[in-house]
Amino acid sequence: MNVTRATFDDVMVPNYNPAGMVPVRGEGSRVWDQDGAEYIDFAGGIAVNVLGHCHPELVGALTEQGNKLWHLSNVFTNEPALRLAAKLTDATFAEKAYFANSGAEANEAALKLARRWALDKFGEDKNQIIAFNKGFHGRTFFTVTVGGQAAYSDGFGPKPGAIDHCDYNDLAAFEAMISDNTCAVMMEPLQGEGGIILPEASFVKGVRELCDKHNALLIFDEVQSGVGRTGDLYAYMGLGVTPDILTTAKSLGGGIPIGAMLTTTAIGAHLKAGTHGSTYGGNPLACAVAEKALDIVNQPEVLEGVLKKEALFREILSAINEKYNVFEEVRGKGMLLGCALNEKYQGRARDFMVAATNENLMCLVAGANVVRFAPSLIIPDEDIKEGLARFERAVAAVVNAE
């Protein structure tokens, strides 16, 4: 069957507006489309392809497990899930893991656990969830309501209640909002969709202290920031603040759909048998690939390499900006970077992304004003240089079209 980009419009619900080309093959940080044109991938499947495309060790893990066992359901456990859970808890603050298929599902589990924990320990009045404006936690109705972007949650009828939002990095506003009725605070330790916003150290520490004061759980959504993306295995490790619950997905599977919620034994005990579940969660195929991805990423040379690659990106982006003056700043950490547009180019991030695609570079946006890069953590330096040469041509095209 011959399919093209036009087929999308015929057969797919129109909630996406994909690029005109259709990728068919990838290797490392390079992708080829139906016409054989080659692209450099700075998008990483939205911070998912942590080791690029078709990494030989991930292909090996997938093939090996694919010949053994694909799916069981959680009526039975399986070896890859148990190994992955052991490695995640060994490498983090956590003592217990729960597996799902995506970041949204991991966040859904975290929120349900927090509510159940508070109900069991303190009664039904302790139900408030606080999150942050411009935050993003997924597209289920619960997670999209907790996410601080009304455009994503409006228009679907009555929303889940007892959810409040305040501005990220505004500790005074947060302190005024939290109380003994707060059961949980959900935050990204580096806001992704909201514009690649780093937290101030005093803000993160203050949030932790106020959660402790009011017996509220601190949930870190590390779906985008986790698994080496910032140069630490998880971003919380570089902030000196430990959450009570952490969610992880995206890079965890290296391209295979998987999510996990990590927590302590005492908190996790409140998800008693039957209180939550997932048919596919923890399936052996996904867990085998995720285990291999985690093994590779959680090595000093890979994590240290992330910060060296960030420095190279920043050096070249600075030179591009000196020439064309389009960015106010380059935000983010590690291989999660955002080029924030200056006043002259406000609202035009998508124009830069489209221009980049035209120059055979795949990149992303984070809102209307930020061009986002989330490439493989092991992208070769020559691919960074060539990709940014293409990006410079894209920037020139947008500027010269004025």
Q: Is the pTM of this model over 0.85?
A: yes
Ranges for all domains in the chain classified under CATH 3.40.640.10:
57-297
| CA–CA distance, 190 with 306 (Å, rounded to integer) | 16
- Positions annotated as catalytic residues are 136, 221, 250
Residue 65 · residue 289 · CB < 8 Å? yes
pLDDT of residue 5: 94
Ranges in the chain annotated CATH 3.90.1150.10: 5-55+300-400
Tokens encoding 71? 């799916």
Pick the CATH number of 57-297 from 3.40.50.300, 3.40.640.10, 2.60.40.1220, 3.30.70.260: 3.40.640.10
The whole-number pLDDT of residue 308 equals: 98
Provide the sign of the torsion angle of the four alpha carbons 102, 103, 105, 110, taken in this order: positive
CA angle at residue 232 from 227 to 236, to 5 degrees? 90
Q: Determine contact, residues 148/188, Cβ cutoff 8 Å.
A: no
CATH number for region 5-55+300-400: 3.90.1150.10
Per-residue model confidence as pLDDT tens for the chain (402 residues): 999 999 999 999 999 999 999 999 999 999 999 999 999 999 999 999 999 999 999 999 999 999 999 999 999 999 999 999 999 999 999 999 999 999 999 999 999 999 999 999 999 999 999 999 999 999 999 999 999 899 999 999 999 999 999 999 999 999 999 999 999 999 999 999 889 999 999 999 999 999 999 999 999 999 999 999 999 999 999 999 999 999 999 999 999 999 999 999 999 999 999 999 999 999 999 999 999 999 999 999 999 999 999 999 999 999 999 999 999 999 999 999 999 999 999 999 999 999 999 999 999 999 999 999 999 999 999 999 999 999 999 999 999 987
DSSP code string of 245-273: EEEE-GGGGBTB--EEEEE-HHHHTTS-T
Give the per-residue pLDDT at 401: 86
pLDDT value for 185: 98
Is residue 226 a contact partner of residue 254, using CB atoms and an 8 Å limit? no
Three state DSSP letters for 355-390? HHHHCCEECEECCCCEEEECCCCCCCHHHHHHHHHH
